[in-house]
Amino acid sequence: MSIVLYHSPKSSASRRVRLFLEEKGLAYEAHEIDLSRQQQHQPEYLAINPLGVVPTILHDGRPLHESGTICEYLDTIFPEPRLRPDDPYDLALMRNWVRHVDGLIGNLIRFNWRHHLQKKAEKMSEDELQAMLTKIPSAERREAWMRVARSPYTEEELGEARSKLIGLLDQMEDMISGGWLIGGRYSLADIAVAPFVRRIDEEIAPEALSPVQRPKVAAWWAALQARPAYARADFGAFVDA
Amino acid sequence: MSIVLYHSPKSSASRRVRLFLEEKGLAYEAHEIDLSRQQQHQPEYLAINPLGVVPTILHDGRPLHESGTICEYLDTIFPEPRLRPDDPYDLALMRNWVRHVDGLIGNLIRFNWRHHLQKKAEKMSEDELQAMLTKIPSAERREAWMRVARSPYTEEELGEARSKLIGLLDQMEDMISGGWLIGGRYSLADIAVAPFVRRIDEEIAPEALSPVQRPKVAAWWAALQARPAYARADFGAFVDA
């Protein structure tokens, strides 16, 4: 098998790649990286992903990280069905959109890490915590681990993050035309933001997705969830019972 | 003329696009945006670049921002000479490299803004400063303006930034093969980092570029500067006399 995916079921970037792979109909071998056990900071994983984040793919044995880069790469190698706009200008807009969505991940982390990662982190001794922090390459991620371990995000901080994520829905409402974000055709632009919208729907601001408030986004979200690939990607419930 | 560039002579992202345009041999109409007079936060500029940063291009009247996206777009529209690797895997590595370099811009800002922007910002009254800050879409840029206006970066902070930028040179020393960063051919990967290396050479850590310390980077930098496009892009002296 030529595609191996290292992912975490609850990571939005991992979910993006899984949704993409299912939409393409590509076979892949999936390996779960347990973030709560810091498997992403182990030397063998850092060898294929120096940032120590998920996901990473191996394609014919060669590693590649960054979910947006992974999807564009695989969409070139396996051209059908094409999930990037044909028009170069639309393609450029798609790239800036994916980049913009990526830049909002910190807002999602404030909500997501309160669950399984916080439970783990707050039980760590000071020594365990410090030992873990020294293994994390990204300053942003070190900060997030510190926060969930010792000073969980406040309601005010969650509120700020919620506003930013609702702002993303407003941008989508402006962008959607012909049912999809770019060029009236389902593409990586839609796939890139789907894991964010899933979490907004589940916990962060479900009311913001009502057809009364944002009719185009509501229809977009219904259509995206109706795609067979969405069921196959199987995001699962975020919060453990 | 079909390409219009809105740029600032000292902005690294603007310099990247100029170096690219000169290497491609493309004609363009350049308009300077005076950052010290906050022209990037004026409504007419925000209409074509909602982030309020330079550069932006208009191609056949359509706006596009983000220097990496701009260069990839123009390299598609004007295929010769091609400045992206042919191999899809190398192309993916190029994209991740450009993204990585982009992520280090905060370190360059600590050095760059001490000059012309700090001189302007520290003279502002509290009212002028607050009025300006409300116009800046990016939280990161608001923070940087606050710092240069009221609490300039400390020697320790400059030292941290210098280390990160020297780390970038170390990565380059590992990557360079056949003279260039990716696939032994001059590409956007080289162009993307050239404005950073220029500032390292000029002020931040010139000794780090010595052939004794980093032979491949030193040879790369000499070869890049010898390209006719580098002279035509004319970065100029960074620090005003």
Question: What's the CATH number for A3-77?
Answer: 3.40.30.10
Instruction: For chain A, give the mean pLDDT.
Output: 95
Flag whether pLDDT at A241 surpasses 70.
no
Instruction: For chain B, give the mean pLDDT.
Output: 95
Beta-bridge mates of residue A57: A5, A64
B164 touching A (Cβ < 8 Å):
no
| Cβ–Cβ gap A77/B91 under 8 Å | no
* 3-class SS letters over A67-135: HHHHHHHHHHHCCCCCCCCCCHHHHHHHHHHHHHHHCCHHHHHHHHCCCHHHHHHCCCCHHHHHHHHCC
| Cβ–Cβ gap A59/B89 under 8 Å | yes
Report pLDDT for A219: 98
ipTM of the complex: 0.94
Using a CB-CB cut-off of 8 Å, the residues of chain A touching B77 are 88
Flag whether pLDDT at A238 surpasses 90.
no
| Cβ–Cβ gap B92/A64 under 8 Å | yes
Locate tokens 């890490």: which residue?
A113
Query: CA dihedral in degrees (B139, B140, B144, B150; nearest 10)?
Result: 40
Q: What is the pLDDT of residues A40-82, one digit of tens each?
A: 999 999 999 998 999 999 999 999 999 999 999 999 999 999 9
Report pLDDT for A63: 97
Report pLDDT for B1: 57
A91 touching B (Cβ < 8 Å):
yes
Q: How far is B167 from chain A (nearest CA, A)?
A: 13
Q: How far is B127 from chain A (nearest CA, A)?
A: 25
- Tell me the CATH number of domain A88-105+154-231, given options 1.20.1050.10, 1.20.1270.10, 2.170.130.10, 3.30.420.40: 1.20.1050.10
pLDDT band at A37 (very low <50, low <70, confident <90, very high): confident
Pick from A59, A73, A99: which is nearest to B66 by CB?
Answer: A99
β pairing state of B56-59 and B62-65: antiparallel
Tokens representing B222 are 């000499």
Q: For chain B, what are the domain ranges?
A: 3-77, 88-114+153-231
A140 touching B (Cβ < 8 Å):
no
**Amino acid identity for residue B241 in this structure:** A
Q: How many CB atoms lie within 10 A of CB A139?
A: 9
CA distance B133 to A117: 36
Pick from A59, A66, A96: which is nearest to B69 by CB?
Answer: A96
- Look at the alpha carbons of B33, B203, B104, B232 in this order and tell me if their dihedral is positive or negative: positive
Report pLDDT for B78: 97
Using a CB-CB cut-off of 8 Å, the residues of chain A touching B76 are 88, 91
A88 touching B (Cβ < 8 Å):
yes
Q: What is the pLDDT of residues B68-105, one digit of tens each?
A: 999 999 999 999 999 999 999 999 999 999 999 999 99
CA distance A185 to A191: 12
Q: What is the pLDDT of residues B147-187, one digit of tens each?
A: 999 999 999 999 999 999 999 999 999 999 999 999 999 99
Q: How many CB pairs under 8 A join A and B?
A: 49
A41 touching B (Cβ < 8 Å):
no
- Tell me the CATH number of domain B88-114+153-231, given options 3.20.10.10, 3.40.50.1820, 3.40.50.970, 1.20.1050.10: 1.20.1050.10
B78 touching A (Cβ < 8 Å):
no
Q: How far is A159 from chain B (nearest CA, A)?
A: 16
| Cβ–Cβ gap A92/B77 under 8 Å | no
